[in-house]
Every structure is written in structure tokens, then in C-alpha cells.
Amino acid sequence: MPEEKSYQPETLAVRSGSVHSQFNEHSEAMFLTSSFTFDSAEQAAKRFIGEEQGNIYARFTNPTVTMFEERLAMLEGAEQCVATSSGMSAILALCMGLLKAGDHIVASRSLFGSSINLFNNFMRKFGVETTFVSATDVAEWKAAVKPETKLFFLETPSNPLTEISDIAALSAVAKQHDVLLAVDNCFCTPILQRPLDLGADIVIHSATKYIDGQGRVLGGAVLGSKALMEPVYSFLRTAGPTMSAFNAWVFLKGLETLKLRMTAHSAGALALATWLEAQPNVTRVLYPGLPSHPQHDLAMKQQTTGGGIVAFEVASSQGGGKEAAWRVIDNTQLLSITANLGDTKTTITHPATTTHARITPEARAAAGITDGLVRIAVGLESVIDIQNDLARGL
């Protein structure tokens, strides 16, 4: 597509990165094949050693996956995207491609539970240590840097408390110490936030969430410069945490409506968060679009809207802690009780016993995840119906 960089995000989400076959199909094709044939033995040899570009084997080359990679890279403003089988495999590919034994990570303690477990339980086995710090206190990141520190890793907004990290400020610290900054942009997508424009080196996605948008398939992505993505791609080519062609095709269709959905998710979440603040049995509401959010001003500077995730704590008068939160969840009849998010259907979960159940109670406490906390990913239903559903338990 000519002059791609001059187009608006919603146009890029529909049109960019398209590769058409000799059949001139209008909708992107699915290439459901494990391997590709060559015109000659010489051509095969050239492709395997990289002297000639072309498809080889679907573990690391597939035209449908390439279409998705190119489209997401264009939306994020990245030189290259490496698509993976899930969001967690994207983080693993990042670590395995760019880190080695003896390296050190500084990470926000406000991360998805599986991300914390990956750093603590698995990267540590390979000699990579992690120090966890506040998502919002830049001074803690500065103090945690060691000579062997190679990576800063954070989510903003964080899961589930929607804490906002100052990407530009952390980028300045990282560059001062020759450290890479990786930002998980799952909650915002490139429609609401572009971390590379704010100084990040790498962007991570769980495409499973908003990029799909309908809870159908799993996928992940790592994005950055070609120089940084080369070792990440090399790991994927060797180890094979590969995105399937079918899933890539689903994500391409998801990207086409991403702008519309993120706008609607954000509007619904703001309305729900405002309503929740007025409920007597709710003690705290966490949503970046609310003026009461601790990092509201920063969120509105980094993001175009507040996003679709709302977290709130149930009052102790409701029975306290887990019992009160579970009562709210179990009395819903419309919302989906599931830990997934980014769906057209609104989902509700209890982070302390689901997404963060496998980390220690001390780690949950340090991250601010209380037993009374409930997380809602606002879908595309009527906000009035969502409010009425929650009112049963509140």
C-alpha cells in the first residue's frame, strides 16, 4: 500500500501489510500448510541460509502470519514484529532471545501473575535474576539497576490495578544505563498507546485479548527494531513457539475493528467506573479515566482514553475480603466469570484466586492485590445491563 505511514490507525488496521496471491483475493488468505516447495535444490539451499527471501517451513515462515506481523508493526510504529503462540510465549521469546546467564531484570511488581512466575521460577533457573519494584516510583527503578541489568519490564496499565508507569521517564533511566525497556501494551493496544513513541525499545502483546477481541484464539507478539528482533526471531525459528496461520487470520480480522472496539470498551468502562464510585458497598474504584485515579494525569498524557479495564474493592461490611468479592461475582447472571479479557462479552474475575493465585501472598500484598478486589473487563453490552447485573451482588 503506497504511503502507508501517512494513513490513520483505523485505515492501517484494515489495509496495511496485505499480501495477495495470484488469485487476487480481497480478504487475506489463510495458508494452511506445514511447508513450502522450491523451484530447485539451489533455491531451497539459498532460502535456508538466508540468501533468498521466501517461505520455507511454517514454524518460522507463513504468509498469513507475515501479514499479521506487518500490520501490527505498522500500527505500533515498529520495524519488525515476531508473532508467537501466546502472550506468555512472547515474553519467553524476548527473554531467551536477548538475555543470558548472569543478566539481571528490573520488573514492575504489578505484573500478570504468570509473568512474575516466568521470571521467578524459570528465568532464574537459567541464571537470570529479577528485582521487582514499584510500577509508579521511578526512583525505585534507578536504585535497582546493577552493572548486569539488561532489561526493564513493565505493564502499563498494570493487571489488575491499572497502575500507570511513566514510560518516558523510565526510558530516560534505561538509556542512561544502557538497559532495554520493554512494555506490555496488552491493555491499551496501539490504538490507545504507542510505547515506542514514548521511548520504549520493545513492545509485548497478548493478541489473545483485545487484538482478537472475541475470545477465540491464542497469540502473542514482540515488536521493536530489526536489530533487537533478530535474536527473538532466531529463538522462535529454533524453539517453535509459533503462531498458527489460522490464528493469524483471526487476528487480522480482529485488527480491522480494533479502533471501533477500543473506543466502545473505553466509553463503557468510564461509565461503569463512574457508577461504581457512587455505590455504597464499593470502597475504591481503579480506572485510569477517572480523576480519582492516582495516575490519571499521566494516563491521559500517555493514552488516548482510559481503556476497558475497571478494578474495584468491595466494602468489608459485605463480609470482608474474598467472601464479599465472591458474593458480587456469584450473583451476576449476565457477566462471564472468566479470567480472560478484551472480549466483546464483559468478563469478571477475582484476581487473588485466579490470575495471581500462583504467586505468594506476600507478592500479592506487595502488588496491592487484596482479597476484596474484583476486576472487570468491560465488553460491548449495554452499560445499564452491566450495572444492573453487578447491583445484584452489591
Domains and their CATH numbers in the chain: 4-30+62-256 (3.40.640.10), 259-393 (3.90.1150.10)
Is 80 exceeded by the pLDDT of residue 3? no
Is residue 57 helix, strand or coil?
Answer: strand
C-alpha span between 283 and 276 (Å, rounded):
9
The pLDDT of residue 254 is: 97
pLDDT for res 232? 98
Report which of residues 6 and 261 the model is more confident about.
Answer: 261
* pTM, entire model: 0.94
DSSP SS3 for 46: helix
Taking Cα atoms as reference points, which of 337, 339, 355, 344 lies closest to residue 378?
A: 344
77 torsion bin: left (phi>0), alpha (psi -120 to 50), beta (else) = left
C-alpha cell at 11: 485505515
Cα 346 from chain centroid (whole Å): 18
- Quote the CA–CA distance of 160 and 369 in Å, as a whole number: 8
Residue-wise pLDDT for 321-367, tens only, equals: 899 999 999 999 999 999 999 999 999 999 999 988 888 888 888 88
What is the rounded distance in angstroms from the CA atom of residue 207 to the CA atom of residue 217? 9
Q: Prior bond to 351 cis, omega within 30?
A: no
Residue with cell 502472550: 87
Residues 6+ apart with CB under 8 A from 387: 272, 275
Residue 22's pLDDT is what?
Answer: 73
Tell me the pLDDT band of 21, cut-offs 50, 70 and 90: confident
